[in-house]
Amino acid sequence: MNVATKILLVVLDGAADRPTVNRKTPLMAANLPFFDQLAREGIVGIMDVIAPGTPPGSDTAHLSLLGYSPKKVYTGRGPFEAAGVGIDVKPGDIAFRGNFATVKDGTVIDRRAGRINDTHRLAEAIREQVHLDCEFIFKESAGHRAALVLRGENLSPSITPTDPHHIGALLPSQPTTTGPSPQKTAKLVNDFTRQVRAILSDHPVNKKRSEAGELPANAILLRGAGVVPHLIPFEERTGLNAAVIAATALVIGIGKLTGMEYVPTTGATGHIDSNIDAKVKNVNRALKTHAFVLLNIKGADEAGHDGDFNTKAQFLTRVDAAMSELAIDESTLVVITADHTTPVSLREHSGDPVPFLIHGKGVRTDEINVFDEFFAALGGMNRIRGVDLVPVLTDLLGKGQKFGA
């Protein structure tokens, strides 16, 4: 073959940063011999995942990096979280992210119910005892997390969160409604919230927690309402059968909603303790059966949110070492990038462009030998938008969608 035939897209979640310690970024401070080698043999550039100066969410960023314009398809984070925790969502469903929380005297006193770990019995009670005027699906996820899906006619996603987002706030007795005729949905959310309060307050699990001095998980806070969008499957758009390897429900959900096969990895936690070696082994396996593999590695983003420069740099060093075990040759285009910048100085996503490199058959190379934010800005790819990445990659495979004749 004269062209590469497969694509591995590695998203180092939140890895990009601003110069901080000694005017270096964590990528600059990290030891990245493998990424540097890929940069030397390939081409680099910077990318506005959404648009210059727009901090992407992880959801909109991944949509963009997969070639879906988030401005056209994004309705909220709920649908992707719900798909990610294993709910078989359908276009038109209204989906929410949820937290198990602790409410006392109507006031939210802990948004994570003392970082509760096992909620499966509580979730079971909710599934069995809540009765709504529409079909609903509720599923617990890792830690305090959960997802709720409402399914039925004339439902609206124009629902403000019931999650007040800071402790000490009142649990809203009813979500504010926006947009046309969402009263029905607001009533459903209100019914759900009220019934859950009643069911969980008396639940044996919570009684036991209270006795042990732990905060009871006696409420569900909802946010990220969105109608499940119809996304044209990635394979239909690109001709590439795809797999997603990730630890976070959001990225798994985006993969599922775009028709990718989710390949679970034992030991992948989404935190800085994640078993990256296991993920790399999974990638090597998935590339034997799939033409496109999306690998998300979350830890650097977490360190960014924690404002922890050294942990971020050390984690990236560890990722580089693990990735050097990739069993790939020139026939696989490898892309290393981030979904957004999470500066340790901000502890939040920022709108700085992210660096990216493309390695493999057919790419025009450049003079850059290093993978970081600064040298990426001098690379042969110049500056592109996130939504252009997949067209660039499929075109390198000789599968570009010609416009004109």
Comparison of 76 and 172: residue with beta carbon closer to a copy of itself: 76
Q: Is 239 in the site for a copy of itself (CB under 8 A)?
A: no
User: At its nearest, how many Å lie between a copy of itself and the CB of residue 340?
Assistant: 9
The amino acid occupying position 239 is G
Q: Given the rule CB under 8 A, which of 123-131, 139-147, 199-207, 369-377 is the region that contacts a copy of itself?
A: 369-377
Interior angle at CA 28, CA 25 and CA 34, nearest 5 = 140
Exactly one of 21, 125, 137, 377 binds a copy of itself (CB under 8 A); that residue is: 377
**Within positions 116 to 145, which residues make up the interface with a copy of itself, using CB under 8 A?**
none
**Within positions 189 to 208, which residues make up the interface with a copy of itself, using CB under 8 A?**
none
Exactly one of 87, 96, 352, 360 binds a copy of itself (CB under 8 A); that residue is: 352
Comparison of 197 and 361: residue with beta carbon closer to a copy of itself: 361
Q: How many residues bind a copy of itself (CB under 8 A)?
A: 64
Q: Is 57 in the site for a copy of itself (CB under 8 A)?
A: yes
Exactly one of 77, 290, 298, 312 binds a copy of itself (CB under 8 A); that residue is: 77
Interior angle at CA 32, CA 268 and CA 252, nearest 5 = 25
Comparison of 36 and 366: residue with beta carbon closer to a copy of itself: 366
Q: Is 82 in the site for a copy of itself (CB under 8 A)?
A: no
Q: Is 61 in the site for a copy of itself (CB under 8 A)?
A: yes
Q: How is residue 102 written in tokens?
A: 């602790």
| DSSP helix/strand/coil, 10 | strand
Q: Is 304 in the site for a copy of itself (CB under 8 A)?
A: no
Q: How is residue 184 written in tokens?
A: 């029905």
Q: Is 374 in the site for a copy of itself (CB under 8 A)?
A: yes
| DSSP helix/strand/coil, 314 | helix
Q: Is 51 in the site for a copy of itself (CB under 8 A)?
A: yes
Exposure pattern of 315-341 as b/e (b: 16+ CB <10 Å)?
Answer: bbbbbbbbbeebebeeebbbbbbbbbb
Comparison of 169 and 377: residue with beta carbon closer to a copy of itself: 377
Contact status, residue 390 vs residue 68, Cβ threshold 8 Å = no
Q: How is residue 360 written in tokens?
A: 């493999």
What is the torsional sign of CA 243, 34, 271, 71?
negative
Comparison of 75 and 218: residue with beta carbon closer to a copy of itself: 75
Exactly one of 224, 255, 270, 304 binds a copy of itself (CB under 8 A); that residue is: 224
Q: Given the rule CB under 8 A, which of 73-81, 122-130, 170-178, 206-214 is the region that contacts a copy of itself?
A: 73-81
Comparison of 105 and 403: residue with beta carbon closer to a copy of itself: 403
Exposure pattern of 116-139 as b/e (b: 16+ CB <10 Å)?
Answer: beebeebbebbeeebeeeeebbbb
Give the CB-side neighbour count of residue 82, counting CA atoms within 13 A.
31
Q: How is residue 272 written in tokens?
A: 């800085």
Q: What is the DSSP string of 36-95?
A: HHHHHHSEEEEEESSSTT-PPPHHHHHHHHTT--HHHH---SHHHHHHHTT----TT-EE
Q: Is 53 in the site for a copy of itself (CB under 8 A)?
A: yes
Q: Please provide the size of the chain in residues.
A: 405
Q: Is 70 in the site for a copy of itself (CB under 8 A)?
A: yes
The amino acid occupying position 182 is P
Q: Given the rule CB under 8 A, which of 105-113, 119-127, 316-324, 389-397 is the region that contacts a copy of itself?
A: 389-397
User: At its nearest, how many Å lie between a copy of itself and the CB of residue 154?
Assistant: 26
Q: Is 22 in the site for a copy of itself (CB under 8 A)?
A: no
Q: Is 343 in the site for a copy of itself (CB under 8 A)?
A: yes
Interior angle at CA 11, CA 8 and CA 13, nearest 5 = 165
Q: What is the 3-state secondary structure (H, E, C) of 255-313?
A: HHHCCCEECCCCCCCCCCCCCHHHHHHHHHHHHHHCCEEEEEECHHHHHHHCCCHHHHH
Footprint of a copy of itself on this chain (CB under 8 A)?
A: 2-3, 18-19, 23, 25, 46, 50-61, 70, 74, 76-77, 224, 343, 345-346, 348-352, 362-367, 373-374, 377-385, 388, 390-396, 398, 400-405
